[in-house]
Amino acid sequence: MAKETMDKEKMAPVKKASGSTGMVSKFTVFDLLMYVLITLLALICLYPFLNVVAITFSGYNAVLSNKVTWFPIDFSTSAIRNILSRKQIWQAMWTTVEVTILGTGLSLVLTIAASYALSRDYLPGRTAITSLIMFTMYFGGGIIPTFLVVKSLGLYNSLGALIIPNSISVFNFIVMRTFFRELPMELEEAAKIDGATEMQILFKIILPLSVPIIATIGLFYAVTYWNDYFQALLYISDEAKYTLQLRLRALLFGTDLDPNASVSGDIGEVMTQSLKMASVVVATVPILVVYPWLQKYFVKGVMIGSVKG
């Protein structure tokens, strides 16, 4: 008891003294150290990207002599022009754009539908359906049975195989349902009294309030579709339907179906190293373009997800 009061007394003057200046003013050696460490870490994160770009835009001899690090040497655009002039790349790019757009659209529609309906706590049967969904987070059929189901549905070698089998992520569903649950109910109730249907409430009230979360989850889905390698490896064997990641793998490590047969960072002549890096640039730039303006949303999305419903 006595300790408690003492603590309180101790705290009281602290509050006054702290104000806005107090401890925040001095920039110490400690601060400097923190800034240096984080800057170093950021540079380590950036270097591989810059190195790829530098190699892409460097001259033949500079790449051959392994001199290129941060910046291009003997600036040259021949590698990137070579890659961009290949029909295969554009074909793969178009396939991936198609999969990403259609996939993200389908995923968002399904995730919004599931999250909205199952966030209405008056809906009979919602617990059963939610359990049906949640259970799949912990147990599943695994790679092979899923592969056989998808194949037996006639999706093999079709873009559908890249879109439909993984169109709902349970994690994203949880994030979105948590968000919908936390929206204030008053507007919805008022709309209901005015005779609005659930469909109208969703489109006129809920969705306009949910733009940030939809952007976040849309970004997650889009990145997953864009980066997907495994699904394409499983379901696409027809070269004409190669996605960007499959094409990129073929350019980097050879077309051999078993990736372990080729590989190694050492084989292949140096002109191809520039070409390889140019193809990496082409496959990555679209992500880098959308990244900055969606970035402000996703941290919040991850936090909602980590709190978990």
Partner 1 sequence: MAKTVRSKKRHGFFETLWRYKWLYLMLVPVVVYFLLFRYLPMYGLTIAFEDYNIFHSLFNQKFVGLKVFKKVFANINFWASIKNTLFLNLMTLVVNFPLTIIVSLILNEIRSAKFKRVTQSVLYLPHFISWVVVAGIATNLFSTNGGTINNIITSLGGEAKSFYGNTYWWTVMYIALQIWKEIGWGTIIYLAALTGVDEQLYEAAYLDGATRFQRIIHITLPMIKSVVVVMLILSISRMMSIGLDAPLLLGNTAVMSVSEVISTYVYRLGIVKADYPQSTAIGLFQSVVNIIVLLLADRFAKAIGEGGIL
Q: Which residues ranging from 199 to 228 are in contact with partner 1 (CB under 8 A)?
A: 199, 223, 226-228
Q: Which of 279, 303, 309 is nearest to 137 (CA)?
A: 309
> Alpha-carbon distance 193 to 175, whole Å?
29
Would you say 5 or 260 has its CB closer to partner 1?
260
3-class DSSP state for residue 91?
helix
* H or E stretch covering 276: helix 270-307
Question: Binding segment for partner 1 among 78-86, 175-183, 207-215, 249-257 (CB under 8 A)?
Answer: 249-257
The window from 76-84, 143-151, 181-189, 204-212 that contacts partner 1 (CB under 8 A) reads 143-151
Helix, coil or strand: residue 176: helix
5 binding partner 1? (CB under 8 A): no
Region from 83-91, 116-124, 176-184, 204-212 binding partner 1, contact rule CB under 8 A: 116-124
Rounded-to-10 torsion of CA 210, 214, 215, 216? 110
Q: Is 165 in the site for partner 1 (CB under 8 A)?
A: yes
Burial of 266 (0-12, 13-18, 19+ CB in 10 A): exposed
Task: Find all residues with CB under 8 Å of 175, minimum gap 6, and list them.
Answer: 213, 216, 217, 301, 304, 305
Dist CA 263 CA 98 (whole Å): 29
Least distance (Å) between residue 94 CB and partner 1: 17
Among residues 163, 248, 275, 297, the one that binds partner 1 under rule CB under 8 A: 248
Asked whether the beta carbons of 150 and 235 are under 8 A apart, the reply is yes
Q: Which of residues 259-298 bind partner 1 (CB under 8 A)?
A: 259-266, 273, 276-277, 279-280, 283-284, 287-288, 291-292, 295
Torsion-angle region of 308 (φ positive above 0: left; ψ -120 to 50: alpha; else: beta): left
Residue 138 interacting with partner 1 (CB under 8 A): yes
Residue count at the site for partner 1 (CB under 8 A)?
A: 107
Residue 198 within binding range of partner 1, rule CB under 8 A: yes
- Answer for which of 143, 185, 207, 209 binds partner 1 (CB under 8 A) is 143
Which residue, among 189, 220, 206, has the nearest Cα to 305 in the 3D structure? 220
The stretch among 84-92, 141-149, 185-193, 204-212 that binds partner 1 (CB under 8 A) is 141-149
- Work out whether 77 is an interface residue with partner 1 (CB under 8 A): no
Q: Which of 95/273 has CB closer to partner 1? A: 273
Q: Which is nearer to partner 1, 2 or 29 (CB)?
A: 29
Question: Any contact of residue 60 with partner 1 (CB under 8 A)?
Answer: no
Query: What does the alpha-carbon distance between residue 269 and residue 67 come to, in Å, rounded to a whole number?
Result: 16
